[in-house]
Chains A and B, each alone.
Chain A
Amino acid sequence: MERFHVTKAKDLRGKACELKFEGERIVTEFSSTDKVTVIDAGGSTLIPGLVDLHTHLREPGREDAETVLTGSLAAVAGGFTAISAMPNTAPVADTAGVVEQVFRLGQSHGLCDVFPIGAVTEGQAGTTLAEIAAMHASEARVRIFSDDGHCVADPLVMRRALEYVKNFDGVIAQHAQDPRLTNGAQMNEGLVSSVIGLKGWPAVAEESIIARDVLLAEHVNSRVHICHVSTAGSVEIIRWAKARGIRVTAEVTPHHLLLTDELARGFNPIYKVNPPLRTEKDVVALREGVADGTIDIIATDHAPHPAESKECEWSAASFGMTGLETALSVSYQALVATKTTSFEKLISLMSSNPAAIGKYEGHGSLKAGSYANFALVDLDAEWTVEPTAMRSKSKNTPFANYVLPVKVNQTYFKGNRVFSGGVK
């Protein structure tokens, strides 16, 4: 078994630290002093491998936008060692067969763990439950179910799904969007949409579904996870639900923590995303929700699209932004640079907390026994976002030409170096 000793690293609080691992697991002490390879971190900060609960990999079906391989390459470049593939592929990941295919692709590439998220309903059509238990029992061991991209709008379907996943302590991740209130919606409904004449996506369409779903989760005593929370009102409802003891967890994306609907004024659909960019007031409320623990995790909602899906008029463009390679830097900018949270807290929002929600054993921790999944990052470095330099197959980042803090130097997955960006 190979032994590695990471030296001259800093921990999350900036103190000197080291890390030992044998094979694919972290150890307290080596079982033998034979063949120990030293990895000189050169003063970089050691973080646990990041965990994303919300990733669109597009395979099978839209391999022109992303594949499991290119998505994994993007993930490890961003410091992630586990990503969660959303089921809105073609075919939809609503059977054991499809989730196993995606899982095995991830395993065969060996860059990071790719945990498929299963669809809640057949074809994500919102009417009939998919074979949830079969997906859980499959090799992919699916624990999170979501119709992401679509809302589980029918309250009875949502209730049954919440009850059904209790058998194995699974969780339903809801894309909260009332379809009737958002028919044809293009951007946040507010002053900007009224002036530039794009059809509005009102905050209440998200908030009313979250309010309903936390009450359903309470009623059947199940777990519900709210995807990409985007409004101040949603934060308030989730805060209330948590205070009441309801088992709800919530995620926010890096872009909703930094960008606002003002960006739509130029009509460049690079800023078109679902849920839409909201107002400054919402951004502030989301940051407060992160600070006080109402929001549990940061998730990328990495949504790759080919160039032609964005090089067009706004209403014809696809919703979505890439995020895996910018998530850590953008979140740092939004939360740590603004002194909203500590760096240590930011990392738990992006590693241990999502690993706990997804029950991803061995992930999100640097404790002995965990997988040797970690990244070495430079907190003092800045870098300029260049879409063409991204590992993702798609280049639809809204952060082109931004100068961002924090550079990922190296990423290790189960003891193997899977990314090396700037070895010192």
Chain B
Amino acid sequence: MNKHLLSIEDLSKSDAIQILDTAEEIARISDGPVKKLPTLRGRTIVNLFFEDSTRTRISFEAAAKRLSADVINFSAKGSSLSKGESLKDTALTLQAMGADAVVIRHGSSGAPARLADQSWMKGSVINAGDGTHEHPSQALLDSFTLRRHLRESAGDLSGIKVAIVGDILHSRVARSNVLLLKKLGAEVTLVAPHTLLPFGIDQWPVNISYDFDDVLPHVDAVMMLRVQRERMSELFFPSEREYSRGFGLTKERLDRMPKGAVVMHPGPMNRGLEISAEAADAVNSVIVEQVTNGVTVRMAILYLLLGGMSA
């Protein structure tokens, strides 16, 4: 496996399946009385968060701690980062402190790739979301969740039909999911108004639809994406109500989903905008489970990236 996890492109199909299988293994152990594993004892993992993201940071922190690693949280607010320290100097500082891995969340696409630059850092870099580029650990936990529900926790996702609905243009979750789902053999349909699809989407290996109702009866899973309210002022859609009518997972649409199909959302949700309360809390909603699986899958990622290396 690659030393860094910057993009789903860094993983082969067998790498991805190995992560999912390892996560299953970890999940089984975690169900036992002792949740903590000694695997990464003495290793230091830095959570470097340039953007506020409590859930992802806590998830990585929990994952690292359950593997007995030392965790340092470094967030932009109130630190040298907010005083204009460059990414390079931050990297050199973390390198000097002996970080074995850096989990980075950054508002600029490609910032983790810059951090992984040889001359800056020697440790592993894990992308925890960069700009509108990728969020690989989210895609891995989503596939893990899908596999549990639809493929009995084994193998790939071939033949599974997944609709990703909403602001594809600005979504790093969508980009990582498209790459991983295709790698694992799933069929992906993107559903969004044309303004929220990137230019060049016609060359992606996916189906495109502007009609959610048309797609809904044929899905095994829908992934609802968060829609940021400020997009409205940038002319991406006329009003929240119009968006919700066309692309929200309403109660009516929930009822029209095939039996066994699951509802997913990476969080945080805008209840009433892209997803109704009924859909969020439905029996076939796996949104809370995604959060639980997040810790497990991130443990697997840290274990596989760091575990094989000498302390």
Q: With A194-B204, A314-B110 given, can you name 5 additional A-B contacts, CB distance below 8 Å?
A: A189-B200, A190-B200, A192-B200, A197-B130, A267-B109
Contact present for B198 and A313 (CB under 8 Å):
no
**Residues in A239-269 with C-beta less than 8 Å from chain B:** 266-268
Q: Which residues of B contact A308 (CB under 8 A)?
A: 86, 88
Cβ contact within 8 Å between A196 and B133: yes
- Answer whether residue B183 sits at the interface, using C-beta atoms and an 8 A cutoff: no
28 examples of A-B residue contacts, CB within 8 angstroms: A189-B200, A190-B200, A191-B200, A194-B198, A194-B201, A195-B204, A196-B133, A197-B131, A197-B175, A198-B109, A198-B110, A198-B131, A199-B132, A200-B198, A200-B199, A266-B113, A267-B109, A267-B111, A267-B113, A312-B86, A312-B114, A313-B87, A313-B106, A313-B110, A313-B114, A315-B107, A315-B108, A315-B131
A202 at the interface (CB under 8 A from B): yes
Q: Does the CB pair B110–A190 fall under 8 Å? A: no
B4 within 8 A of A: no
| Closest Cβ–Cβ distance, residue B223 to chain A (whole Å) | 17
Residue B134 CB within 8 A of the other chain: yes
A195, A200, A268, A312: the one contacting B87 at CB < 8 Å is A312
Q: Which of B95-149 contact A (CB under 8 A)?
A: 106-111, 113-114, 130-134
Interface 0/1 of B191-224, CB less than 8 Å to A: 0000000111101100000000000000000000
Q: Is B66 an interface residue (CB 8 A)?
A: no
Chain A residues contacting B131 (CB-CB under 8 Å) are: 197-198, 315
User: Is B200 in contact with A314, judged by CB distance below 8 angstroms?
Assistant: no
Q: Does B172 contact A (CB under 8 A)?
A: yes
Nearest-neighbor residue (CB-CB) of B130 within chain A: A197
A341: chain B residues at CB < 8 Å are none
- Among B88, B114, B203: residue with most chain A CB under 10 A: B114
CA distance A206 to B295 in the complex (A): 47
Distance A375 CA – B164 CA, assembled complex (angstroms): 60
In the assembled complex, A193 has its CB within 8 A of some CB on chain B: yes
Interface residues on A, range: 20 to 34
Bound form: Cα–Cα A196–B110 in Å: 8
Residues of chain B within 8 A (CB-CB) of A312 are: 86-88, 114
Q: Is the CB of A313 within 8 A of B108?
A: yes
A196 to B108 alpha-carbon distance, docked (Å): 11
**Contact residues of A between 169 and 218, Cβ < 8 Å to B:** 189-200, 202
User: Which residue of chain A has its CB nearest to the CB of B171?
Assistant: A197
CA distance A314 to B111 in the complex (A): 7
Chain B residues lying within 8 Å of A196, measured Cβ to Cβ, are 109-110, 133
CB of B18, distance to nearest CB on chain A (Å) = 24
> CB-defined interface of A314-339 with B at 8 Å, one 1/0 digit per residue?
11100000000000000000000000
Complex CA distance for A197 and B108, rounded to whole angstroms? 9
In the bound complex, residues from chain A placing their C-beta under 8 Å from that of B110 are: 196, 198, 267, 313-314
Question: Is A311 on the interface with B (CB-CB < 8 A)?
Answer: yes
B231 vs chain A, min Cβ distance (A): 14
Q: How far is the CA of A196 from the CA of B132 in the complex (A)?
A: 8
- Per the bound structure, the CA–CA distance linking A388 and B168 in Å amounts to 42
Which 8 pairs show the lowest CB-CB distances between chains A and B? A267-B110, A194-B198, A197-B133, A197-B132, A194-B200, A191-B200, A313-B108, A313-B111
Assuming the A-B contacts A196-B133, A197-B131, are A314 and B199 also in contact, with contact meaning beta carbons closer than 8 angstroms in the complex? no
Which residues B154-186 have CB closer than 8 A to chain A? 172, 175
Contacting residues, chain A, for B108 (C-beta < 8 A): 313-316
B199/A311 in contact, CB under 8 A: no
Chain B interface residue count, Cβ-Cβ cutoff 8 angstroms: 24
CB of B88 within 8 A of CB of A311, answer yes
Chain B residue, CB-CB nearest to A190:
B200
Docked complex Cα distance between A268 and B134 (Å): 17
* A194 and B199 within 8 A (CB): yes
Residues of chain B with a CB closer than 8 A to A192's CB: 200
Quick check: B199 and A197 within 8 Å, CB to CB?
no
Complex contact A193–B199 (CB within 8 A): yes
Binary contact readout B49-75 vs A (1 if CB under 8 angstroms, 0 otherwise): 000000000000000000000000000
Rounded to whole Å, the gap between the CB of B224 and the closest CB of chain A is 20
Shortest distance from the beta carbon of B196 to any chain A beta carbon, whole Å: 12
A 285-320 to B, binary, CB cutoff 8 A, 1 in contact else 0: 000000000000000000000001001111110000
* A205 to B: closest C-beta gap in Å: 12
- Across-interface contacts of B132 in A (CB, < 8 A): 197-199
Contacts of B203 in A (CB 8 A): 191, 194
Q: Which residues of B contact A191 (CB under 8 A)?
A: 200, 203
Query: Which of B107, B133, B201 gathers the greatest number of chain A CB atoms within 10 Å?
Result: B133
List of A residues within 8 angstroms of B107 by Cβ:
315
Bound CA–CA A30/B130 (angstroms)? 68
Contacts of A195 in B (CB 8 A): 175, 200, 204
Nearest residue (CB) in B for A198 is B109
- Tell me the complex Cα distance, A197–B178, Å: 13
Contact present for B200 and A197 (CB under 8 Å): no
Give the contacting residue for B109; candidates A189, A190, A268, A315; CB below 8 A: A315
Give the chain A neighbours of B201 by CB distance below 8 A: 194
Residue on B nearest A311 in the bound complex, by CB: B88
CA distance A192 to B203 in the complex (A): 10
Q: How far is the CA of A268 from the CA of B115 in the complex (A)?
A: 11
> Complex formed: what's the CA distance from A194 to B201 in Å?
7
CB distance from A409 to the nearest CB of B (A): 34
A-side contacts of B106, CB under 8 Å:
313
Q: How far is the CA of A315 from the CA of B87 in the complex (A)?
A: 12
Report Cα–Cα, A316/B86, bound state, in Å. Answer: 10
Q: Which residues of A contact B133 (CB under 8 A)?
A: 196-198
- A391 → chain B closest CB, angstroms: 25
Determine the distance from Cα of A198 to Cα of B108 in the docked complex, in whole angstroms.
8
Min distance, Cβ A38 to any Cβ of chain B, angstroms: 50
A358, B130: Cα distance in complex, Å:
45
In the complex, what residues of B have CB within 8 A of residue A311's CB?
A: 86, 88
Q: Name the B residues within 8 Å of A268 (CB-CB).
A: 114
